[in-house]
Amino acid sequence: MRHVLTSPLMARSPYRMCMSLDAPRTERVKRLARPTASAVCDDGSLIELVYDRIDRTTALAVFRDGAWSLEASVDLGRNDRCCPFSPNNNLIKNEVVLLPSRPEEYGSHDELLAEISCFIHRYLDVSPLFEKVATYYVLLTWVYDAFNELPYLRLRGDFGSGKTRALLTIGSLCYKAFFASGASTVSPLFHILDAFRGTLIIDEADFRFSDEKAEIVKILNNGNVKGLPVLRTMQTQQREFNPRAFQVFGPKIIAARGSFEDRALESRFFTEEMGQRRLRDGIPINLPDTYKEEALTLRNKLLLYRFRTRHKAKANPTLVDPNLEPRLNQILVPLLSVIDSEATREELRAVASGYQQALVAERASTPEADVLEVVRDLVDDCDGTSIATGIIAARFVERHGANYDRPITPRWIGNLLRRRLRLVTFKSHGVYVLPLSERPKLEILWEKYGTTNDAGTPTSDLVRPGRQGDVGTSSFDA
């Protein structure tokens, strides 16, 4: 059941005619096939684009009823047929998008994991835990569309620290990986992501201009949750404006020297700090000629892995850690769901826990944390039903005024409470007050900003931590 149907016509044309050329033209137009990179069909069959770079041909690998075949087109019903992209497509023939060539047997799940791990270890020097994370992340990319949320990987370090090598090594194994540099314009990224639905690999993701940064942040912010396309205005041939939704959901791996200013985006990354150790002996300075063939063989095996496991892959809700914040669990659970080693799961949970502590430490050095600390003391001593913002401001000046070079006024305190902490205040007898009915919100905020410890003592009365690194980074150093 394994065969390839090709013809000179199919190799030349971006669209494949799927019926006789003797048929009436109106009927042929209805049956024009649309180029397809992948599809999950209603009957459970899976379709994937493959490319043979030796013969320079493309085909569709189709998985039905436990067996696979290579086909020139697939009839999806209702005058809908799909076909492969042309092998002359610039993205494919120039290997901007990396595709498998055909499914290959991989043996057991453990054998496949070992091959991926050995490949990464052979060409890349990273911490042992990140090597494990990267191995499982490769697996996750091949079934990512079975999940609703995804984490990202990031390699961070100065030039010469091995970031680009890490992208090439890990990215060459990922599902329909396509590579871009920070010098690329953003528009092609929208189109490629929407057409191929693969893994975005970005090198030098430090953007100089704010508009470029804003565009890439849209892709990264919207791209880790399914169902949040980016809307962009397109123009038809008749010069009519026609907004279009670009699907940007998918795995992403980036290399950068610094961090993003957007803290929400920072929380989506598992980050490896590069260049913090001497290069391990045995790592080739230049990639050998065999590197591409090894990566292709693994992609072929991973294609069969996708065929066999895609319909079984799903987020395991029992892996949610109640000690972690919802955002951390959101990005952690999909990765944990493809990890079968409980020891590795615990290591990754420890990384996430360390990140959460760093996140709390950073929040604890903000004005919001200082005002929450003051409010907590006042709430504990309050006999009434509300606390005036003027009283909060006075206590704030007494305790933290020396740390600020601006006037601490009731109005400024009220703005912090309302706009930054989303607490309700109202005017009573001519002054603004914070009602004690907000206590349920306050208790969540006290924990979030690290203003309490297990004994219930304000953290700031013990140690006021400084800024502890960048939000969203997780050190994978052993």
Q: Nearest-CA neighbor of 61 among 75, 77, 45, 76?
A: 45
Of all residues in the chain, what percent carry a pLDDT higher than 90?
Answer: 48
- Mean model confidence pLDDT for the chain: 82
pLDDT at 14 over 60: no
Residue 211 has pLDDT above 80, yes or no: no
Kindly state the average pLDDT of the residues 253-267.
80
Residue 172 and residue 116: Cα distance in Å, rounded? 11
Q: Which residues of 359-396 are buried (b: 16+ CB within 10 A; e: fewer)?
A: bbbbbbbebbbbbbbbbbbbbeeeeeebbbbbbbbbbb
Looking at the DSSP bridge assignments, the partners of residue 386 are 435
Tens of pLDDT, residue by residue over 229-247, are 877 777 666 677 778 888 8
Q: Domains of the chain, with CATH numbers?
A: 8-92 (no CATH), 109-362 (3.40.50.300), 367-448 (1.20.120.1790)
- Determine how many CB atoms are found less than 10 A away from the CB of residue 258: 11
Distance CA 427, CA 102 (A): 70
* Nearby residues of 286 by Cβ (< 8 Å), 6 or more positions away: none
Report the distance separating Cα 374 and Cα 217, nearest Å. 35
The structure tokens listed for 153 are 């990987």
pLDDT over threshold 60, residue 23: no
Tell me the whole-structure pTM to 2 decimals: 0.77
Q: Residue 26, Cβ neighbours under 10 Å: how many?
A: 7
Mean pLDDT of 46-58: 94
Closest CA to 250 of 111, 104, 119, 97: 97
Task: Give the model confidence (pLDDT) of 137-195 as tens digits.
Answer: 999 999 999 999 999 999 998 888 889 999 999 999 999 999 887 556 777 888 888 89
Structure tokens at 163: 């970031």
